[in-house]
Structure formats: structure tokens, C-alpha cells
Amino acid sequence: MKKLGFLSFFLIGVAGVALLFSYLFLTTKGSDFLVSFFLPRYFPLENIESKEVSGSLFTVLSYQDIVFDGLEFLPEGNSLRAQRLDISLGPAGLRLDVKNGTLVIPGLDKILFYGFFENGNLDLNFYTRSVNLRNLFSFFDDQELKKITGLAGGLDAYVRGPVFEPSFSGVFQIDSLSRENLVLENSAGNFDLAVEKNDGRLKLFGEVSLNGGKVLFSRAALINLDEARFVFSGNPQDPSLDVKANSVVERTKINISLKGTMNNPDLHLKSSPSLSQERLLLMLATNRSWRASEGALSGEGLSADMGKEFFDYFVFSRPASNISKLLRLGGISIRYDNQTIGVEARKDITETTEISFSVEQARDREGEQPPTQKVGIEHQISESTSLSLEGQISQDEKSDREKEADKPDSKAILKFRREF
């Protein structure tokens, strides 16, 4: 009797497990219950709704017009919708197929996608018509990214591989990208990147390329971008550079080559007609030829420090104390705004005497005015007293008589400095 009782209990248990398995994996309601129970544990969210459910996990469980609201790993207010989501269990494990998916994130255009997830691996295609870069990077903690604004479009991207080490590839179009003083317009790009996890840190490998476009700086010449390659070898903040571009400053064509890395750029300039690299760098910085300054330039080529500082100054808006070395002068200042454009350079000729030369051009509503040159000398008499002499020459198109009548007076200024 004891053996019959144990056997009956065992058979009842087996039958119960079989019935539970049949309900969970062979019926629509059971499979839907199982998915609704486990899915939020892998993808935390606020709510799941579906218009229609059919099939089962033993074959294919299909959801029509399914909506996921409030996915925790995305910005607040997000919503993910799919015209159809198929879930199945196979030899490779769990598989999810998404058809005609739409991801909605506040502040961004709709992101369309399709593809599948199987056994921890992704194979998805994303497309969006337009991306507001300010809104996109506002979701990140990186303060440098938050400085980027603009509009990109036509992003067509593929995400493949393991969830925690995916690869990304695709194309995009930059309509306008701004970062402080730098603006990039109308450039087509493509990328092929892979993320790897090493010693608990994420590393980035691959390449981002740009073709065509215009680069503008608030205080420099217009640069026409031919092509640019950014190659990542682990550190996402220090890619290798391979940039080719050109510019035209007052009928002088300048060819620009930028190599090295983001932290150690190597800048080379060539022109037709041929000019020294220092002269070309000054022309790019001011968008003027400054032909009168050529005699002050050494023509010995750009040092690595000068090239890096030029790159930092215009791309990252960092201080440019060493650019003054271009003219072998003690200091150089560049002014470029709505009222005035110009450059001033200074040089110490003794421990107590300094000479200066400047060219400025005022602008009004009718356009640019004739440039004015100034030369000066300042002699330090004591720690608190100096004598300054300054002469001014107007470079305009007036007659000799008019020039003589309007000739500016030279000035002698006695300066006193007092500390309180």
C-alpha cells in the first residue's frame, strides 16, 4: 500500500508539472503570463500593453501593436512601440524579433528600428530622420559633450554583437555641428566602431569618417573639409587623426594636413604661392594675408607645440600663449568681432624697452573701413613709471593733400603705476 501511495503521489506530481508546462508554454495565456512576469526583470519598465496576443512560446508567441512605457535605462518619458513582437524558445535560447519598431524619446525625432535579440546577441537596424544634438547630449553626464549643439540627419545605423560589447556601423549627415568657436556644416559621415570591456573599463575601437563640408571658426578663415578620419584604438578621448582640408585667404590657397592624435596633433600647411608655415598659420587664424608681416616670420616650419596650440585654441578654445612665437615676438593678440578686426604684436628689445606693431580695421554698417597701422615703443623708467611713444599711419585711398590734412598726430604718453 505504501508503494502504491508513493507511486500515486509521484504520478500526480508529474501530471501537475506536465499540466503547468503545457499551460505556460503551449497556451497563449500561459505564455503571456510567463513573459509578463520575467520581461520586466531583464528590462525594467513601467507598463506593457498589447492590442492582441497569439501563439505560444513552444512555437512563436506574437504580440500585435505592443507598447513598452518608461524603460528605466532610457531618458524619462520614453516609449517603445512595435507593430509586431515575436518571442520564441529554440536551441540557441530566447529569441525576440521586432518588426516596425518606434522609439520615442522626448526632445528627439522618432527612431525607427527592426531586428532581433537571440542568446545575448543583438542584430538591430536603427534609422532617424533628424537628431537635435543639444537634446541628445543633454542625456549624458560628460560636460564636453554638453557643449556640442547642432542638427544631424539621415542616421542609418546597425548594432550587432553581444549586448555589453556591441559593434556599431552606419552613415549619417551633419547639417550643422557647433562646439563653442567651431562650426561644421554639410558633411557626410560613416562609422564602424566596436566596444570592448577590458579590466572593467570600456574601450572603443574602429573609425569615424567625414567627407566634404565646411569648417568655420568665429575668428579664422573658412576651411573646406576634403576628408577626415578619426581612428580609435582603445581610448575614446584620444583618437588618431587623418584630416585633409583647404582654405583660400585673399587668393592664396592653403592646403591643410592634420595627423597625430587628439592630444598630440601634427599640423602641416602648404600654399600656392609658397609661403612659410608661420605666415600661413597667421593667415588661417585671422583670415587676412598680413603681407607686411612676412619679414618678421622665420620660415623655419611649425613646431609640434605650435601646431598643437593652434589646434587647441580654435577647436577647444584653450589659451594660446605660444602662438606669439610665430613672429618671434613677446606677445600677440588677435581681435575679431563685429566692430574691429586686427592683430597686435610686441617684442622686447632690451630688458626695459619693448616695441609694438599693430594693424586694425574698423567696420561699420557700410562694410570694412581702411586699415590703420600703429607702431610704438615703450621704455620702463622704473617699476612704476614708463614712457610710451606711438605713431599711427592711415592706409586709405585719399589724395596726398587729404592725407596731410587728416594725418594723425603721434603720441607720447607717460605712464604711472601705483599699487594701493
Q: Pick 192 or 387 by higher pLDDT.
A: 192
- Kindly indicate the confidence band of residue 257, based on its pLDDT and cuts at 50, 70 and 90: very high
- Based on the fold, state whether residues 259 and 405 are members of the same structural domain: no
Residue 6 lies in a domain: no
Cα–Cα distances in angstroms (integers) from residue 242 to residues 121, 272, 303, 323, in the given order = 33, 22, 18, 23
pLDDT at 21: 73
Q: Pick 1 or 9 by higher pLDDT.
A: 9
Residue 10 lies in a domain: no
Rounded to the nearest 5 percent, the helix, strand and coil shares of the chain are 20, 50, 25
CA-wise closest residue to 280 among 228, 236, 223: 223
Residue 31 lies in a domain: yes
- Tally the domains of the chain: 3
Average the pLDDT over 67-82 and give the result. 83
- Based on the fold, state whether residues 181 and 280 are members of the same structural domain: yes
pLDDT at 338: 59
For residue 124, what are the β-bridge partners?
A: 115, 159
Q: Which of 287, 308, 323 is the last residue of a domain?
A: 323
- Based on the fold, state whether residues 151 and 77 are members of the same structural domain: no
Residue 28 lies in a domain: yes
Distance CA 286, CA 229 (A): 26
Rounded to an integer, what is the distance from CA 21 to the centroid of its chain? 53
Question: What distance, in Å, lies between the first and last C-alpha atoms of the chain?
Answer: 111
CA-wise closest residue to 245 among 267, 224, 265, 216: 224
- Based on the fold, state whether residues 376 and 261 are members of the same structural domain: no
pLDDT digits (tens, 9 = 90+) for 226-254: 999 999 998 888 899 999 999 998 888 99
- Based on the fold, state whether residues 259 and 231 are members of the same structural domain: yes
- Based on the fold, state whether residues 256 and 313 are members of the same structural domain: yes
78 CB-near residues (< 8 Å, 6+ apart): 69, 70, 71, 103, 104, 105, 106
- Based on the fold, state whether residues 368 and 220 are members of the same structural domain: no
- Based on the fold, state whether residues 148 and 229 are members of the same structural domain: yes
- Based on the fold, state whether residues 182 and 243 are members of the same structural domain: yes
Residue 39: in which H helix or E strand, if any?
A: helix 28-42
Q: Which of 323, 349, 364 is the last residue of a domain?
A: 323
- Based on the fold, state whether residues 154 and 277 are members of the same structural domain: yes
pLDDT at 403: 47
- Based on the fold, state whether residues 307 and 336 are members of the same structural domain: no
Residue 15 lies in a domain: no
Q: What nine digits make up the cell of 415?
A: 605712464
Residue 289 lies in a domain: yes
Compute how many other C-beta atoms are within 10 angstroms of the C-beta atom of residue 14: 10
Q: What nine digits make up the cell of 160?
A: 550587432
For residue 117, what are the β-bridge partners?
A: 96, 122
Task: Evaluate if pTM is beyond 0.75.
Answer: no
Residue 363 lies in a domain: yes
Residue 194 lies in a domain: yes
Residues spanned by the domain of 41: 24-119
- Based on the fold, state whether residues 148 and 282 are members of the same structural domain: yes
Q: Which of 303, 323, 343 is the last residue of a domain?
A: 323
Q: What nine digits make up the cell of 101?
A: 519598431
